[in-house]
Amino acid sequence: MRNSKIWLLGLLIFQYHILYGQQFSGETNTVYFNTRNVNSATVKLPLITWLSPEQLNASVQGDSIELIARVYSSTMLKSLQLIQSGEAEMKQQYSLIEIGFSGEQIIKKKIRLKNGNNSFELIAENASGGKVSSARFVKANSTETVKIVPSKKIATPLLFVKENSVVFKDSDNDGSLNANEEAYVKFILGNKGALAGKDLRISYALEGNERSILIEPGPIMRLEPGKEIEISTRITAGQSLETGKVLLSLVVMEPNGFDSDPVQIQFNTEAYKPPMISITDAIFNSVASNKLERNKTTGLQLLVQNTGFGTAEGVKVNVDFPENIYFIGDRVIDLGTLSSGEAKKVDVEFIVTSRYKTNEVPIKITLLEKLGKHGSEKTVTAVLDQPLTAVQLNVVSEKPKGAIVPLLLRSTVDSNIPVNNATHSNRYALVIGNEDYSQFQPGLQVEQNVAFAKNDANVFKEYLVKTLGVPQQNVYLLLDATRGQINRELERVSELAKLNSNSELIFYYAGHGLPDFETRKGYLIPVDVSGSNIRDGISLSDLYKKLAATKAARITVFLDACFSGGGRGENGLLAARTVKVKPTGDLVDGNIIVFTASSGEEVSLPLKKESHGLFTYHVLRKFQETNGNVTMHEMQNYLSYQVPKSSLTENGMKQTPQVLTSPKLDLNWLNWKF
């Protein structure tokens, strides 16, 4: 009697699986069924999916059957057991893996069937003891031949994630989740099944640096057959977020187990980095004469910069003068928001009245920001009757390790930039200034940053727009750019150039370059690529090929970087831009002209007094002197004389710029004008 009840219960379970999700191939002896449902409390447990023969083309004949399963585990899977049971025979157990694994594996096992009903239970256990199991049934007749249980094809939803639709987007578009930042993961979900997916929801798992991260999946509810919808999941990070990496796994769950394949997104996290508001430069100037005198207007120009890594909001400058000083304007100046490295100028005017009795005029400057924690206070002092022409008071205290290089108020090429009214709508430009490598690579010293590279890029962009007529919207500027950002913007300008048969491209880069020590080929080094992983950088050879493929009428490349390797502290040159390996020349093709800052084993140096790279300064100086009306040949001659001369005079080192051209251009490029 008891055996009859057990048999009846098994039959009922068997029929249940026939109706809900179990399918058997009528053509092969292969069992397959869909992913079991896993609730949100066990999202880190393995997922088990039995595959159809159409997916793997499995086929087994006779009294045996092949079981095929896709097993996915986001954590380490310790064991995977298969238990076979017959109606009157003892259970038989098979171990399907020898060592643990994580990720995805396809499991196959050929099993001899027992007479009558056969049940198969697959049990997966992860390292922390969590278990998931799935069971299915097969019936064999008394002659030990397989009888595949006939069943009508059941209509189901069939969810899939559309190829190349997964996108990660953070608020500041740097491709990393920062403390106090918000980001989204979006992808397109489709339904290729015959029935609508109802009561759908997103299940997620986090691995890695997950502290202080909140995941908020959006609702789905229903997806009709043949339709697609965009799925969005919100990610927010708190202030206690730590620097590291996170792996986020998302699965769209369907109540009957017809879930989507997992979507995995790995991204970097950045700990909270406070701003640091400081005065990096101050200059007195006289409106009426070249001296600070009583009863005459004197100007004070300040450069306020955020030298920290976080954004500062509500920045204000409070100017406090002694008595008997007449101040013109507001004593509190609102600067708004300053992003990391950003600087703004502040101009104030005052008059020293005849009642002021001492010769020194101390002016107290207080810098405030929204949080009230990251401002500073400085006192700058002017002296009566001192000459004011080019008087510059440096009020910057000693910089902490890893701080952003402070900007100065002006260089001779930063002011009086020539403005031409002509605009060339067919011109496109990508400008990159990679200066601060230490903030992305904690093992680096601040001296290993590239001094003034961001200033180089900012001012070069100004010349492109004002002097060379490149439309503002056609210039793409990247500061401290990662590999992903450079590749993305390079793809953008290349595609734009392809749209116009007469397009012109300008590419400018200031930052580190390094050679591959095996091939001696040159690479541009993004701020998130270390010297030990050079091939993760931007290959010059690939760059030139990418630009040439646009078939632009003219392509001009400026590289203020060297490719010999380089140690910044060698020979006392703390600001030398990059161990010395003589690189090979990278061949260029297409309509390309390349102006490089140095050659061979040389390094590319800065011009400290102008707050620019030496090469970039002279390029800009030539544009300034000629109002941009200069040929390529004239620029080549100017740089070949001025750069080595200036380098020997200012730095005591030889630096020889080079020009590379495509052989197909012959000498035609010499008369091209910028």
CATH topology identical between 159-270 and 427-666 = no
Looking at residue 301, what is its pLDDT?
Answer: 86
The tokens for 380 are 């700058």
Q: Give the residue from 490, 479, 468 showing the smallest Cα distance to 432.
A: 479
pLDDT tens figures, 28-52: 333 333 333 333 333 345 666 665 4
Asked if 304 and 205 count as a contact pair (C-beta separation under 8 A), the reply is: no
251-to-160, 161, 203, 291, 378 alpha-carbon distances in Å = 10, 10, 5, 72, 55
**Which tokens sit at 516?**
């591959």
- Please give the DSSP secondary-structure letter assigned to residue 42: G
Query: What's the topology of domain 427-666?
Result: Rossmann fold (3.40.50)
Q: Phi and psi (nearest 5°) for 235?
A: -125, 125
Architecture of domain 2-147: Sandwich (2.60)
Task: Tell me the pairing of strands 277-286 and 392-393.
Answer: antiparallel
What b-and-e string marks burial along 352-388, b requiring 16 or more CB atoms within 10 Å of the CB?
beeebeeeebebebebbbeeeebbbebebebeeeeeb
Parallel, antiparallel, or unpaired: how do β-strands 658-661 and 376-383 relate? unpaired
* Residue carrying the six token digits 């090979």: 584
Strands 504-510 and 513-515: unpaired
Q: What's the predicted TM-score (pTM) here?
A: 0.45
Size (the chain), residues: 674
Q: How do 554-560 and 504-510 pair as beta strands?
A: parallel
Looking at 123-200, list the stretches that DSSP marks H as alpha helix, in order from N- to C-terminal side. Answer: none
Backbone φ and ψ for 625, nearest 5 degrees, come out as -65, -30
| Domain 277-393 listed as CATH 3.40.50.2300 | no
pLDDT at 543: 94
Q: Are 578 and 514 in contact (CB under 8 A)?
A: yes
Residues of the chain with pLDDT under 50: 1-44, 52-61, 141-152, 389-401, 567-581, 583
Nearest residue to 24 (alpha-carbon basis) of 73, 70, 65, 63: 65
Asked whether the beta carbons of 308 and 344 are under 8 A apart, the reply is no
Distance CA 134, CA 22 (A): 11
Report the distance separating Cα 435 and Cα 452, nearest Å. 7
Task: Say what the pLDDT of residue 33 is.
Answer: 33
Neighbours of 535 (CB within 10 A): 11
Sequence-ordered list of residues with C-beta below 8 angstroms from that of 595, at least 6 positions apart, any chain? 556, 557, 558, 559, 619, 635, 636, 639, 657, 658, 659
For residue 72, what pLDDT is reported?
75
Predicted local confidence at residue 477, as pLDDT: 93
Q: How far apart are CA 630 and CA 621, in angstroms?
A: 12
β-partners of residue 270 are 178
What pLDDT does 507 receive? Answer: 98
pLDDT of residue 611: 82
Domain ranges for the chain? 2-147, 159-270, 277-393, 427-666
Q: Can you identify the CATH homologous superfamily of domain 159-270?
A: Immunoglobulins (2.60.40.10)
